[in-house]
Amino acid sequence: MEMKIFLIEDDIYLNTLICDVLQTQGYEVVTFADGAKAVSALDERSDLYIIDLSLPNISGFDILKKINSLGKNTAVIIISAEDNIDTILQAYNLGCQDYIKKPFDVKELLAKVSLIEKKQPKTKVKLSDNCYYDISKKMLYVNNMVVQLTQKENLLLHLLVLNIGDTVTKEEAEKYIWGEYIDNGYVRQLISKLRKKLGCAKILNHSGNGYRLEINA
């Protein structure tokens, strides 16, 4: 799955330039010129944020704080004309992975984006063109939006994704979710609820003994 980048930069020329360069490298880029609008979209999936510190309505620091408050462990590159050491240290203390001072060559930005991409674990399992499951975060995304799952629904889907193409028996599911064999029809109920929420992959019954997750090509 291609890396999705949120670019938050109010300079339209620079915003367009960076976006074009990243897209030519195969990255999916969502751009914002207004920090407040970017904050309203933080619930969407993103693998990397590129944030200018000086933005209208809200500062880049405030966006960093918001990302932290959401518990998102997403990489951040700060781009800024500010070269004061205290400002740079504040950005790192708030969790940014890199700080690039303006003006800069886009080749430098590309190199840093590529390095972050290589460091990221490959935990995203594509279930269809518009649907994937993040194994490490245990989150399901459809059309880049998080699908809300209950704890037990998530555990069951996690188990099915880890065993894509293989049958997970009812007993294995019970043990994984509840820690014991319960044999009360709860697994069947969870499967029914997952099928309604998933939509992007098939959960098949297998010989009346278990379930198998198949990816839609």
Q: What is the DSSP letter of 85?
A: H
Average pLDDT over residues 40-66: 90
Same domain? For 28 and 50 the reply is yes
Same domain? For 102 and 156 the reply is no
Average pLDDT over residues 143-164: 89
The CATH number of residue 137's host domain is 1.10.10.10
The maximal CA–CA distance of the chain, rounded, in angstroms, is 66
User: 133: burial class by Cβ within 10 Å (0-12, 13-18, 19+)?
Assistant: buried
79, pLDDT greater than 60 = yes
Would you state the pLDDT for residue 109?
Answer: 96
pLDDT tens for each residue of 166-205:
899 888 898 888 887 776 688 889 988 888 888 666 888 8
Would you state the pLDDT for residue 90?
Answer: 95
pLDDT tens for each residue of 96-135:
999 999 999 999 999 999 999 888 766 778 887 778 888 8
pTM summary value: 0.61
The last residue of a domain, from among 119, 150, 181: 119
**Helix, coil or strand: residue 59:** coil
Domain that holds residue 67: 4-119
Same domain? For 104 and 162 the reply is no
Same domain? For 207 and 140 the reply is yes
2, pLDDT greater than 80 = no
The last residue of a domain, from among 119, 154, 173: 119
Same domain? For 207 and 114 the reply is no
